[in-house]
Chains A and B, each alone.
Chain A
Amino acid sequence: MSTGSKDNCWEYMHCRCGPESKQPCPAAVDETSNRINGGRNAGRICWTVPNTFCFSKPRGQFVEKREICFSCDFFCLVKKEEGSSFYLFKIAQGVKGTHKLHDTITQMEHLFTIHERLRSHFDLTQTLREITSDARRITGAQRSIVFLLKGDPPALYGEFKLRGGMHQVSINVDNSSAVGYAAAHNQVVNLRDLYKDSGHLNMSVFNRSFDKQCNCETHSFLAVPVQDSGNRVIGVITAANAKKGYFSADDEWFMRTYATEVALGVEKQKFLHQSFSALRLASIGETVAGLSHCIKNIAHALQGSSYIIKRAIDSNNMRDIKAAWEILDRHIVRLANLSLDVLTYDPAAQRGEIGTKLNELVNHVVKLFQEEARARAITLKMQLGEKVDPCSFNARGMYRCLVNLITNAFDACPLSEGVVTVSTKRTGEKELMLSVSDNGRGMDEKSKAELFHLFKTSKVESGTGLGLPTVADIVREHNGRIEIDTKLDKGTTFYIFIQEAPSSSSPLTDSST
């Protein structure tokens, strides 16, 4: 096909970024793609060139811009004009075009699939398994294995499937095998016949024994080093026994791409591992520090009040004894609450008995709080919905939720004329709502946002900062949600929506018991 008879992309798009322009587009000067699809340089295969100037903006790598390219008019035109001789991507240099459209698209699809997989998989072993499976399909190889460099001194470790089971093999990084050679020299090893062509390599250590294990014989063999971002070898990907008898330059190109995918997978795994470790440590650190702060404040008050009591006893000062005793008592209760909250913060500790009567539970808890409500001049009301019972819920968990929410509502209430209302309602076939509202001080956006943070409390004398996180966990266990309606100086309502637990085989029951 002659150049000049067909439009190149810069001519078709009138972008003035052709080879002779002041600022030529990378596609216009890519001589390695000359004549492909009958174009000048990469003028008719521009989609494979990174950072082309299409629509006056650099478009990134092929993988990033493929969606735009595949819907581009020029791409469709070239595809139509070239018919079955169309090249979707540049094949390895020096290889005569044997790829027809169908093969090419199939191969590209494989590469995209791997990209998608790399994005979704968290498990490196699974990623590697899928890469080798694709490498086998694309190169027509009988076997493909990924070896990763590990240990000190470093050796190459690979995993392969044989007779239904997974087997491991390790190889030294030296010239005693093709795999070791590829890693030691950071070089592709492509042999038509492993045993005849090895020449300077001595294959007896790995391949002969491996062949024996597999009960087959290796002929053609391709080993491509896997490099990290600093071009250091971190492994080797291999393919053995090509159907066509040898591995072509195209196969080498594919295997290099797979090697890059393996490297990306390893990097991603490393990154995830580091992130998870950091998160876990940060979380433990914050929990311990928060707990320590809370305990120290309590200890501080206990120490202070015990000092006052001791001194007041010596001087027979009953007024001081009484005042300090009240503080001591309050902080002992706070300490007890803290230990209870820490204990029940573990959702597993909340599991157990399944309740069937939510209204009855509310009635019971509200009765328990009536005396305290009277002492604090708070009107505690109940509005129980119809058709709520019978139902199914985690009894201990919901009891704890109610106690926490009512306590919070009491503490938020004004000094006089406080009103707290507890309501229940059936809001769906399997959904129940429980709400606790007060006419207290309400919250601003900042306080609302910090509500469920561990150890964050607005109650400096009595709070532990564990109550609401506990509520959140219990609600989560019920596949439910929490909604909060609050207005400054008007009050707050907590709405809890829970999904009923399915009777005896409930996930809320502890499966370990």
Chain B
Amino acid sequence: MSPTAKILVVEDNLDESKLIKMALEPEGYEVVTAVNGKEAKEKIGAEKPDFIVLDVMMPEMDGFAFCSWLREKSDYKNIPVVLLTGVGQHIYDTRYPLKGVMESDADEYLEKPIKPEVLLETISRLLKK
């Protein structure tokens, strides 16, 4: 575990983003948030996060687009990313097919509803790699 790691949470739902922040901070992580891929792009240079928690469906720039952009940048391509997704979403909204999640450049994906313990374990595991 890397208690001093900085985590960027990209999530348009402010309640969810706040809950993730509240779950991570007591574990020693520093948390910064962005409401979509576009804002995350603007913040990443200054914040230099060690890990990214990324929602899929967001306005302006979604999780897929942000992840693809990230992997093309030499400075950020090695940052571990975990995608937060919901299966219902992939059936309901054809813009976000399950195939897109499987083939995305994220290191792992978690399906909502996500237990905070599982998210913590995933972050800790991917940071150790």
Contact = CB atoms under 8 A, between A and B. Distances in A.
Interface of A: 285-286, 289-294, 296-297, 299-305, 307-308, 311, 315, 320, 323-324, 327, 330-331, 455, 460-461
B86 A327 contact: no
Contact of A308 (B13, B22, B89): B22
Contacts of A296: 86-88, 112-113
Interface residues of B, number: 24
Contact of B20 (A304, A315, A320, A331): A304
Nearest to B90: A289
3 nearest A-B pairs in the assembled complex, by CB-CB distance: A293-B88, A304-B19, A292-B88
A297 B13 contact: yes
B91 interface: yes
B92 A327 contact: no
B92 A286 contact: yes
Interface in B1-36: 12-16, 18-20, 22-23, 26
A299 B92 contact: no
Nearest to A460: B13
A286 B114 CA distance: 23
Interface string B95-124: 000000000000000001111110000000
A104 B88 CA distance: 62
B23 A308 contact: yes
B87 to A, nearest CB: 8
A290 B96 CA distance: 13
Contacts of A289: 88, 91-92
Nearest to A309: B22
A299 B93 CA distance: 19
Nearest to B92: A289
Nearest to B84: A300
B interface, over-half SS: helix
Q: Which residue among A286, A301, A330 has the maximum number of chain B CB atoms within 10 Å of its CB?
A: A301
Contacts of A455: 92
Given A290-B88, A300-B112, A307-B117, 13 more contacts: A290-B92, A292-B86, A297-B13, A297-B16, A299-B112, A300-B114, A303-B116, A304-B16, A304-B23, A304-B114, A305-B19, A323-B22, A327-B18
A289 B89 CA distance: 7
Contacts of A299: 112-113
A293 B115 contact: no
Contacts of A460: 12-14
B86 A293 contact: yes
Contact of B113 (A291, A300, A320): A300
A461 B18 contact: no
Interface in B36-55: none
23 contacts: A289-B88, A291-B88, A292-B92, A293-B89, A293-B92, A294-B88, A296-B87, A296-B88, A299-B113, A300-B86, A301-B15, A301-B16, A303-B113, A303-B115, A307-B115, A307-B116, A311-B26, A323-B18, A323-B22, A324-B22, A327-B15, A460-B12, A461-B15
Contacts of B22: 308, 320, 323-324
A270 B13 CA distance: 46
A480 to B, nearest CB: 29
Interface of B: 12-16, 18-20, 22-23, 26, 86-89, 91-93, 112-117
Contacts of A308: 19, 22-23, 116
A403 B116 CA distance: 36
Contact of B19 (A285, A290, A327): A327
A241 B116 CA distance: 83
A335 to B, nearest CB: 12
Contacts of B20: 304
Nearest to B93: A293
A293 B93 CA distance: 10
Nearest to B16: A301
B15 to A, nearest CB: 5
B125 to A, nearest CB: 19
Contacts of A311: 26
Nearest to A334: B15
Contacts of A324: 19, 22
A367 to B, nearest CB: 30
A84 to B, nearest CB: 64
A289 B87 CA distance: 8
Nearest to B112: A300
Nearest to B115: A303
Contacts of A285: 91
Contacts of B18: 323, 327
Nearest to A303: B113
Q: Which residue among B20, B113, B114 has the maximum number of chain A CB atoms within 10 Å of its CB?
A: B113
Q: Which residue among A294, A304, A311 has the maximum number of chain B CB atoms within 10 Å of its CB?
A: A304
Contacts of B92: 286, 289-290, 292-293, 455
Nearest to B117: A307
